[in-house]
Amino acid sequence: MSIVVDNIEKKILSELIKSNRRLDSFTLFNRIKVSFGAFSQRLDSLEKNEFIQLRDMIVTLTLKGLEFSSKIKLIEKRHQRNIELQPQFTCNKIPVNEFYIPTILRLDKKTFPILVSLL
């Protein structure tokens, strides 16, 4: 049996994945930015398909929902390979045992008020 999800349901699943599989329903509603009727209808549909679980106003992505999301490729690949850095972003590597001394002028004045005031 093929399960079809629309764009709003994909957004809901995607937001849950980004939010560590659990969100408050009000926060999820604000992030999806659709009408409340459309949102609650999609939540009911996803709950009937057992993709999410709604308990005490907390929406939780189930294991079945996570597997389905990976099948429709909602989970983005976090690591891309074969990325070439531009020369201005590369520098010489510091050896492991060598001390690193930061430039005092570049230190944050709020975090290091004493060091910066010495100049």
Is 36 contained in some domain?
yes
27 located within any domain: yes
Sheet containing strand 22-24, edge to edge, reads: 22-24, 58-61, 52-55
Tell me the H-state helices in 4-105: 7-18, 25-32, 36-48, 63-71
- Domain span at 53: 7-71
Q: CB of 61 within 8 A of CB of 13?
A: yes
Please report whether residue 25 resides in a domain. Answer: yes
pTM of this structure: 0.60
pLDDT by residue, tens only, the chain of 119 residues: 567 788 899 899 989 988 888 999 999 999 999 999 999 999 999 999 999 999 999 999 999 988 888 887 755 555 456 667 787 777 777 777 887 777 777 777 787 776 545 55
The reported pLDDT for the residue numbered 80 is 52
Domain at 66, CATH number: 1.10.10.10
The pLDDT assigned to 27 comes to: 93
pLDDT in the model for residue 6? 87
Residue tagged 């907390």 (tokens): 58
Let me know if residue 22 belongs to a domain. yes
Question: How far is residue 34's CA from residue 53's CA, in Å, rounded to a whole number?
Answer: 20
Domain count, the chain: 1
